């Protein structure tokens, strides 16, 4: 039987969306307030969704303690209270949009998760704006 387990997490981080090859006016036109040159923060809410078969021996899909520890190591310790542009290597050259942050989170968790599971990331940048990424 296929089933999905979800675990929620949270982190705060600062960012600025911009392209260095555009001037401030064009960056402001495209990225709006998220292009403030002095950075600003968001309270990101994350749902990590793991899908697979129920283990008939335990009745579990995945030990949620293992998933909790993975999220702490790969996401919270890595991103919480960071300036994404300045402190997180992936975003030195990649715009830290919700889309790109979701992709980076997916890659980091996928790298350490048992490959038998499918993984989906849901990332809220604001209570009303969120993205989902399945690694496709
Ligand atoms: Ni922003």
C-alpha 59 to ligand 1 mean position (Å): 41
Residue 34 is among the residues annotated as catalytic for this protein: yes
From ligand 1's centre to the CA of 15, what distance in Å? 6
Helix, strand, coil percent content, the chain, rounded in steps of 5: 35, 30, 35
Residue 60, token pair as written in the block: 């579990």
- CATH number for region 2-133: 3.30.479.10
pLDDT in tens, 69-120: 999 999 999 999 999 999 999 999 999 999 999 999 999 999 999 999 999 9
**Domain edges within the chain:** 2-133
Structure-token pair, residue 25: 């006016």
Instruction: Using alpha carbons only, give the angle 8, 13, 15 rounded to the nearest 5 degrees.
Output: 130
Say which of 34, 74, 106, 120 is annotated catalytic. Answer: 34
Q: Which of 6, 10, 40, 81 is catalytic?
A: 81
Query: Ligand 1 centre and the CA of 13: distance in Å?
Result: 9
Q: What is the pLDDT of residue 19?
A: 94
pLDDT in tens, 4-61: 999 999 999 999 999 999 999 999 999 999 999 999 999 999 999 999 999 999 999 9
Catalytic status, residue 53: no
Predicted TM-score (pTM) of the model is: 0.95
CA distance 81 to 89: 15
User: Which contiguous run of DSSP H or E holds residue 100?
Assistant: helix 98-112
């Amino acid at each position: 039987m296929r089933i999905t387990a979800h675990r929620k997490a949270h982190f705060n981080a600062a960012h600025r969306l911009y392209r260095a090859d555009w001037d401030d006016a064009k960056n402001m036109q495209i990225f709006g307030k998220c292009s403030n040159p002095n950075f600003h923060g968001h309270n990101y809410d994350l749902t990590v969704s793991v899908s697979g078969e129920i283990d008939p021996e335990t009745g579990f899909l995945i030990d949620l303690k293992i998933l909790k520890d993975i999220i702490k190591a790969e996401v919270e310790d890595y991103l919480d209270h960071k300036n994404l542009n300045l402190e997180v290597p992936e975003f030195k050259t990649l715009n830290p949009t919700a889309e790109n942050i979701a992709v980076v989170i997916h890659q980091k968790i996928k790298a350490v998760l048992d490959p038998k599971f499918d993984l989906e990331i849901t990332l809220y940048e604001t209570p009303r704006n969120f993205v989902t990424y399945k690694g496709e």
